[in-house]
């Protein structure tokens, strides 16, 4: 059930990039302004992941999961009906709130629904469903947008949410957690959200503003100050939004850092490569889309099997092997660039996807397995936060490299 939900929502969300030019033209906004339709969603999701994970520990991961899908569906309907850029921004925020609840509760719901000896298998299935959605979404979205217009992608997202709610109402466990999982930390949740918002704005918009611009410096200092205040509050709070004690477990802390670095490396590549192929070598958008699909296909093919194998032989060796394959594939792209044929690039991208697929399921299993049962919601929130922060940092790093090489006006989209 959780895998079905991940597949449907990932597929419906991944088509937005295809539709952005049409949305910008229809709402009469610039490409830079259209980027906020993506950014408003990303900022909302990332800021709410930790509170959403804690909420799952308090009221039950199944309840949070279904509430998240309801909000995602309502936000999708609002997106389809939006008549202006600001209304679409607000609707995307509503989608982001629902997605944060779903993303934070999905790992916890998965691990709590299976015995420990099948945890890797279950998380591998969840990852495979996610990557299949990422691979299938853009080509399907391109066909839908070409035939029916951009609003249909949000109608499809709302339909996907309705399907999950109808099936999930009977399939998802709605039992409450143990009585000891009580208490919520509202000030911690607020500090966490504001700190992450400020830091993400620094990373994502800093290259456009300029490193020495007052907005960049102010956002960075505000984010750091709020993050320090958040950590100090969580250390003393009896029921914290983020249980810092989890990071005293070496397996948990190293798995979080490894996931963060994996997504940073991957999204530097995924952001930069389309520009290199299209602007540098004149490759058509259709070919670029097919080339990039090789990376998602590699992840989808290997994630489930790696998770199942981790249940039998452990996670450490597989996670290291996956990161090694990713590093070799990234090195291959560098050493054999420029490509004589774009399809050769897809082979290296398939290797990047395979390495990530081999890494991510065992690493996720190790992370979730190192957290106690009553902290599975927080652990799931941290895992999703590492993924989203890694994506944002990867895009910001690539944007900064473009700005340094080409100048701020040409280097940042």
Instruction: Quote the pLDDT of residue 286.
Output: 67
The reply to whether omega before 106 is within 30° of 0 (cis) is no
Q: How far apart are CA 34 and CA 27, in angstroms?
A: 9
Residue 71 corresponds to which tokens in the numbers above? Answer: 């909000």
Angle, in degrees to the nearest 10, between helices 214-236 and 186-209: 160
Instruction: Quote the pLDDT of residue 285.
Output: 64
Question: To which residue do tokens 């939900």 refer?
Answer: 5
Q: Which of 332, 344, 337, 212 is CA-nearest to residue 280?
A: 337
Instruction: Quote the pLDDT of residue 176.
Output: 65
CB-based contact 364:95 (threshold 8 Å): no
Instruction: Quote the pLDDT of residue 412.
Output: 46
- Provide the whole-model pTM: 0.76
Residue 375 corresponds to which tokens in the numbers above? Answer: 């902290």
CA atoms within 13 A on the CB side of 32: 9
How far does the chain reach from its first CA to its final CA, in angstroms?
A: 38
CB-based contact 35:157 (threshold 8 Å): no
CB-based contact 270:292 (threshold 8 Å): yes
Instruction: Quote the pLDDT of residue 134.
Output: 67
Q: How far apart are CA 379 and CA 92, in angstroms?
A: 26
Residue 163 corresponds to which tokens in the numbers above? Answer: 């399907």
Question: To which residue do tokens 């398939």 refer?
Answer: 350
Q: Which residues in the chain show pLDDT less than 50?
A: 179, 409-413
């Amino acid at each position: 059930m959780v895998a079905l939900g991940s597949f449907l929502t990932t597929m419906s969300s991944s088509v937005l990039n295809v539709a952005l030019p049409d949305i910008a033209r229809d709402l009469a906004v610039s490409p830079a302004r259209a980027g906020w339709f993506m950014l408003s969603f990303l900022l909302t999701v990332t800021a709410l992941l930790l509170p959403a994970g804690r909420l799952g520990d308090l009221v039950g991961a199944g309840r949070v999961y279904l509430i998240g899908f309801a909000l995602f569906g309502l936000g999708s309907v609002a997106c389809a009906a939006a008549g202006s850029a600001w209304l679409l921004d607000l609707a995307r925020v509503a989608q982001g709130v629902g997605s944060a609840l779903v993303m934070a509760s999905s790992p916890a719901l998965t691990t709590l629904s299976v015995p420990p000896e099948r945890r890797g298998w279950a998380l591998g299935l969840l990852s495979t469903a996610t990557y299949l959605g990422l691979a299938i979404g853009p080509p399907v979205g391109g066909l839908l947008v070409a035939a029916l217009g951009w609003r249909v992608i949000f109608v499809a997202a709302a339909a996907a949410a309705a399907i999950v709610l109808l099936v999930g109402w009977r399939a998802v466990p709605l039992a409450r957690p143990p009585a000891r999982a009580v208490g919520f930390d509202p000030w911690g949740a607020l500090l966490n959200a504001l700190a992450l918002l400020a830091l993400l704005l620094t990373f994502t918009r800093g290259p456009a503003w300029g490193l020495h611009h007052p907005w960049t410096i102010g956002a960075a200092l505000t984010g750091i100050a709020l993050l320090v205040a958040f950590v100090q509050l969580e250390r003393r709070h009896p029921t914290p939004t983020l249980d810092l004690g989890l990071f005293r477990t070496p397996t948990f802390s190293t798995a979080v850092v490894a996931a963060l670095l994996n997504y940073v490396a991957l999204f530097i590549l995924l952001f930069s490569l389309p520009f290199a192929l299209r602007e540098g070598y004149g490759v058509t958008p259709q070919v670029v889309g097919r080339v990039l699909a090789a990376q998602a296909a590699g992840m989808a093919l290997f994630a489930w099997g790696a998770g199942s194998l981790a249940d039998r032989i452990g996670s450490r060796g597989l996670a290291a092997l996956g990161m090694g394959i990713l590093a070799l594939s990234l090195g291959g792209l560098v050493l054999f660039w420029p490509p004589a044929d774009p399809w050769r690039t897809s082979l290296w991208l398939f290797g990047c996807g395979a390495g990530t697929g081999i890494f991510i399921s065992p690493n996720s299993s190790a992370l979730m397995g190192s957290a106690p049962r009553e902290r599975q919601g927080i652990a799931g929130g941290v895992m999703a936060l590492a993924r989203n922060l890694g994506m944002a940092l990867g895009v910001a790093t690539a944007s900064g490299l473009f700005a340094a090489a080409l100048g701020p006006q040409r280097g940042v989209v």
